[in-house]
Structure 1
């Protein structure tokens, strides 16, 4: 009698959304988050992200602020209008108190200034996801 080999159940990786217009930065962040166990959906534009129906079941959103068509804050606003309520992190090379206030008011849990250390972004995502809040305040 042959023994059956039963594979353990496949655990789905949590889906993370990333929108970053710089291809090199996007690829680097994609690799960072894959190494942390995420299924990363990466986009060069906010419009591309919003057009993808696979975004609705994502657990987290990371966005660059300055994008060509619509900025990262507007992308989150549009995601929220679809009912998506996960945590979000905004990254920017153009920080200001006004930008941070706008981002937090829209529902970003944290705003990180570029350049940042890799672990800072990964830790921010982990902290916000651990808090289980769509709009954690920093």
Structure 2
């Protein structure tokens, strides 16, 4: 989930090239409202979004019973944010800008190197 259209498209292409089925969302509400997201093997969420943040989105998914791994990406890193993200169930926090292969490698590791669906 990424609100910047260019970054979102780039992430879609990255994950598709690595064999993932990808659903991409600009807003947390759209992701939460889509029942197919509960079958995803991994969530990649931006921290700052217009109407919410990635931590809140993951919390809502967890409340709905989704238990997959999640990666938070942010252009506003801090020790406090990393601590909060990990406490809310994120497996890893990556600082923007990051090398695309680094994110792809993290998701592949968290999902067993190529499970068939990812959210961004």
Quick check: TM above 0.5?
A: yes
Which position in structure 2 is the counterpart of 1:32?
14
Aligned-partner Cα distance in 1 for 2:92–2:70 = 7
Which position in structure 2 is the counterpart of 1:53?
35
Aligned-partner Cα distance in 2 for 1:26–1:130 = 23
State the structure with more CA Rg: 1
Which position in structure 1 is the counterpart of 2:58?
76
Which position in structure 1 is the counterpart of 2:77?
95
Q: How many pairs align? A: 113
TM-score, reference length from structure 2: 0.92
TM-score, reference length from structure 1: 0.80
RMSD: 1.0
User: Runs of 5+ in structure 1 lacking a partner?
Assistant: 1-18, 132-138
User: Runs of 5+ in structure 2 lacking a partner?
Assistant: 114-120
Deviation by residue 1:58-116 (Cα, 9 ceiling, x = unmatched): 11000000001110000000000000000000000000000000000011000000000
Taking CA–CA contacts closer than 8 Å with sequence separation of 6 or more, which of the two structures ends up with the larger relative contact order? 2
